[in-house]
């Protein structure tokens, strides 16, 4: 979408919302800085805000009406809702350096804020992690267990009703076993605090990480009740994997990620193991083929929509068309209709379309309605 200059009016004292933090990138983030919400709620679903210079969609702000999302070409006008920031980030500068709000309801810890694939240019081609991290020292690079535990404690005190899940995610260190164990140690710290605050029934823990080389380390996940874990392929075919994820291809390999996903499924249970595919980086048919095969393995496919970020190797390249996206969405819906797949983010679309499929939104005429627009 395109940001209307009226959006600068959003920063009035009454508008308490989660502004975009320079944590995840976007094409034009610096133009409007703090006026850009990182997420919006549209028709009850949280979506990520990615802003491009030229688009028929305009996001603006009026004092009387609040936010307006207009497509003048198609005569569509929506009233998205702002998502309030967590209270813990208002008065706790330390928490602000350690965590982020993701998907309106996930307390997200990103550690480390670096990935060794960038050292030799073998990073995933869509990833903007290094350039984004270099733009600001706003966030701590490597989190400790105490960082996580303290932040979970503070957040439960101020925002208990808001948080549905804790997300541990990060870049990758060269020693993959050590990186995996780092993410596990942060998850354990979060679990200890959830248990201490009697919150583990309502708040789930989710880890997104590279798999370890020693697959026996995955057994350590048994001590987490109801955990969800993601080992990401990013794209499905061997050719796409080598092209888009050269570092992962060289140092771990697609077939080994699939083996790790099978082990993960066996340890934490069918469909609690996830793997993300970014639609738009290969053909829609391949994304659907990948989602279908993963689902057949008992792995929940997570379908992200490619958005081009500055600092990524792909840069501000073309994004998937509506036709491609709707094709993938219908394919995913078919899988959700017959299998107990689980979205990684519970109530959240953000950049993924799984929550929509879980709600059956791709069957209720939504796509037909949008497709019918000129």
Q: Which residues bind ligand SF4 (CB under 6 A)?
A: 115, 117, 123-124, 127, 129, 171-172
Hey, CA dihedral for 347, 312, 274, 106, is it positive or negative? negative
Q: How far is the CB of 127 from ligand SF4 (least distance, A)?
A: 3
CB proximity list for 291: less than 8 A, separation 6 or greater: 277, 301, 303, 328, 331, 332, 335
The nearest distance, CB 116 to ligand SF4, in angstroms, is 8
**Which helix (H) or strand (E) segment is 78 a member of?**
strand 76-78
- Smallest distance from the beta carbon of 122 to ligand SF4, in angstroms? 8
Toward ligand SF4, which CB reaches closer, 89 or 139? 139
Among residues 78 and 314, whose Cβ is nearest to ligand SF4? 314
Strand partners, 360: none
Could you give the CA distance from residue 299 to residue 270 in angstroms, rounded to a whole number?
A: 6
Residue 232 or 333: which CB sits closer to ligand SF4?
Answer: 232
Give just the sign of the alpha carbon dihedral 283, 284, 285, 287.
positive
Cβ 172 to ligand SF4 shortest distance, Å? 5
Q: Which is nearer to ligand SF4, 16 or 250 (CB)?
A: 250
Place of tokens 């290094």: 130
Tokens of 242: 């080598």
Q: Which is nearer to ligand SF4, 40 or 129 (CB)?
A: 129
Residue 145, CA distances (Å) to 168, 187, 191 in order = 12, 8, 11
Query: What's the min distance (Å) between Cβ of 128 and ligand SF4?
Result: 8
């Amino acid at each position: 979408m395109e940001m209307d200059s009226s959006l600068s009016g959003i920063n009035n004292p009454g508008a308490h919302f989660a502004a975009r933090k320079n944590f995840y990138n976007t094409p034009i983030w610096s133009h409007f800085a703090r006026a850009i919400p990182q997420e919006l709620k549209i028709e009850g679903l949280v979506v990520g805000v990615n802003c491009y210079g030229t688009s028929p969609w305009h996001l603006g702000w009026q004092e009387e009406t609040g936010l307006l999302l207009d497509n003048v070409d198609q005569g569509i006008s929506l009233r998205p809702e702002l998502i309030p920031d967590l209270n813990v980030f208002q008065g706790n500068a330390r928490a602000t350096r350690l965590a982020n709000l993701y998907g309106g309801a996930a307390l997200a810890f990103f550690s480390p804020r670096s990935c060794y694939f960038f050292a030799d240019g073998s990073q995933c081609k869509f990833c903007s992690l290094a350039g984004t991290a270099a733009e600001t020292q706003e966030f701590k690079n490597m989190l400790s267990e105490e960082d996580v535990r303290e932040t979970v404690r503070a957040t439960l005190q101020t925002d208990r009703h808001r948080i549905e899940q804790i997300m541990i995610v990060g870049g990758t260190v060269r020693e993959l076993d050590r990186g995996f164990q780092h993410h596990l140690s942060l998850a354990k710290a979060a679990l200890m605090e959830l248990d201490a605050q009697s919150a583990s029934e309502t708040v789930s823990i989710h880890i997104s990480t590279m798999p370890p080389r020693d697959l026996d380390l995955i057994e350590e996940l048994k001590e987490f009740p109801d955990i969800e874990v993601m080992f990401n392929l990013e794209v499905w075919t061997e050719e796409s994997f080598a092209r888009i994820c050269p570092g992962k291809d060289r140092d771990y390999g697609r077939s080994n990620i699939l083996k790790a996903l099978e082990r993960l499924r066996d340890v934490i249970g069918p469909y609690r193991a996830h793997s993300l595919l970014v639609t738009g980086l290969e053909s829609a048919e391949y994304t659907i083929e990948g989602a279908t095969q993963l689902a057949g393995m008992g792995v929940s496919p997570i379908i992200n929509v490619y958005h081009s970020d500055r600092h990524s190797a792909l840069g501000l390249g073309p994004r998937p068309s509506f036709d491609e996206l709707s094709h993938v969405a219908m394919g995913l819906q078919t899988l959700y209709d017959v299998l107990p797949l689980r979205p990684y983010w519970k109530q959240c679309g953000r950049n993924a379309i799984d929550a929509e499929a879980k709600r059956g939104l791709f069957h209720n005429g939504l796509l037909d309605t949008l497709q019918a627009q000129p």
